[in-house]
Amino acid sequence: MRGFPLLIPLLALISGCGMSAYDSSSQYYKGATEHAVASSADADEYFAGGLERRLEAKPAPAAERAAPNRPSDKAENPVAGENAQAFARKIVYTARFVVDVFDIEKSREEIVAWTESLGGYMHSQRAGTVVLKVPAEKFPEVLTQLRKAGRVNDDLTDIRAQDITQEFYDLELRLKTRKEYLASLSELLKQAGKLEEKLAVQREVANVLADIEQMEGKLRVMVHMVAFATVTVEFRPAYKGPTRTFKLPWDWLDRLGVEYLFN
Amino acid sequence: MNRFMLPLLAAVVMLASSCVSVKVPDGYARMSYTAQYDVKAVSTDGNIFTMREITNQDEKNGSLDYWATAMKNQFTLSRGYEFVQDGDFKSGKGPGRWQHYTHKFKGLEYVYIVGIVVDDDEIYVMEAGGEKDRFKNQEASVRKSFETLK
């Protein structure tokens, strides 16, 4: 019973820390879109309560969850039908564009303002290059917006979609397993009699808590990566003159200039 | 002998009247190989000065204002040159107009000065240019050379 004073704060820690992690996450993900989370749950629900509900549901095997519409060899397919909506694909979009503009600073300010108006933000900026985090559902509009700013070099455009569905749901499942284990450890701690037993359980609890925090952190990052597309825009100065559509019919005029002096 | 003297004399007079000369700016040396130019000279830091006559038939139909404006439009609207300033000058062949441009060529900023003189029969075009840093303070000297056209 000498260990009893230790037990109270420990139990408080076990019961409180999980919720606080969810609360801080829900604040962080305010504005995250449906695209980023399963079914119709928004980010707040996902981390404040939705996750708990979803983790209680019987999960499908990882392969099923990654491709819910694919026929399975297994006799049972409990999830693909009823929870297919809950296991939406998790796609991370990244893109790089090179745009020729007449006013780099103005163009950069305008694209940042446009991104912020959609709920995104500027991630970083260096010289004429800006990295934006654009809400994923607005990603298809980025190219349209950049074409308004200047000439997009299509041969330098790079758009990628990375499917992290399997990794995401595997991590969720591992997190659920660890939380269940944590719950069983707390029960064990209540039943532990000897001090050595209690200390051993407490050590294990600390390890499991560390695992859970790490996994939750990784999951937060993945949710964010899916919620916001990373768009890198490099603005370059456009050729100020018009294209050579103006030409007088006097050939000698075209043979003047530094190009001929220094040829 | 007299039958050949007159045509010969006429030919000499004609040749003499179509001769044109210009004094190159100080610090420039003439080149013997002039390519498409009638006069070509180069300075010790790589700047170039040239002069050439344009002798096509159509050129007789335009005035100094016409050709100066045509030249400016061609440079600025078609070739991407940045117009800086222009002015008038007097030469032995008549009044002329000079124009000052800057232009990016092979990644470097160049200064380009062109002078044009139009008389009844010909157009004379004098050009000078060089990298911006190396052409510094040479504009006045180049414009002075334009005035020596005769």
Distance from CA of B1 to the nearest CA of A (A): 43
Asked if residue A107 has pLDDT above 80, the reply is yes
Centre a 10 Å sphere on the Cβ of residue B126 and count the other Cβ atoms it contains. Answer: 27
Confidence of residue B35 (pLDDT cuts 50, 70, 90): confident
Q: How far apart are CA A51 and CA A174, in angstroms?
A: 13
**Which strands sit side by side in the sheet containing B108-118, from one edge to the other?**
B28-30, B39-43, B48-54, B123-131, B108-118, B94-105, B82-91
What pLDDT does A244 receive?
Answer: 54
Distance CA B124, CA B21 (A): 10
Q: Average pLDDT over chain B, rounded to whole? A: 87
Q: What is the pLDDT of residue B136?
A: 85
- Among B36, B71, B105, the residue with its CB nearest the CB of A253 is B71
pLDDT on residue A246: 72
Considering CB atoms only, which of B56, B78, B114 is closest to A246? B78
Q: How confident is the model at residue B125 (pLDDT cuts 50, 70, 90)?
A: very high
State the best of A245, A255, A258 to mutate against chain B, taking most chain B CBs within 10 Å.
Answer: A258
Least confident of A168-172, A218-222, A242-246: A242-246
Bridge partners, A93 (sequence order): A161
pLDDT band per the 50, 70, 90 thresholds, residue A84 = low
Over residues B65-105, the pLDDT tens digits come to 999 999 999 999 888 899 999 999 999 999 999 999 999 88
Q: Residue A151 has what pLDDT?
A: 87
Q: What is the pLDDT of residue A104?
A: 87
For the cut 50, the answer to whether the pLDDT of residue A38 exceeds it is no
- In this predicted model, which residue has the larger pLDDT, B86 or A263? B86
Higher pLDDT residue, B139 or A29? B139
Per the CB < 8 Å rule, is B70 touching A248? yes
Q: Which residues pair with B110 in a beta bridge?
A: B103, B131
Q: Which of A25-34, A56-65, A187-196 has the lowest mean pLDDT?
A: A25-34
Is residue A105's pLDDT more than 70? yes
Nearest CA among B145, B147, B150 for reference residue B30: B145
- The confidence score (pLDDT) of residue A245 equals 63
The whole-number average pLDDT for the span A54-72 is 40
pLDDT of residue B105: 85
Compare A22 and B67 and report the one with higher pLDDT.
Answer: B67
Average pLDDT, chain A: 74
Q: How far is B71 from chain A (nearest CA, A)?
A: 6
pLDDT digits (tens, 9 = 90+) for A139-155: 999 999 998 888 888 88
3-state secondary structure A112-153: HHHHHHCCCEEEEEECCEEEEEEEHHHHHHHHHHHHHHCEEC
Using CA coordinates, name the residue in chain B closest to A239.
Answer: B80
pTM, two decimals, is: 0.43
pLDDT(A106) > 60: yes
Higher pLDDT among residues A39 and A179, named by residue: A179
CB nearest A261 (choices: B50, B56, B59): B50
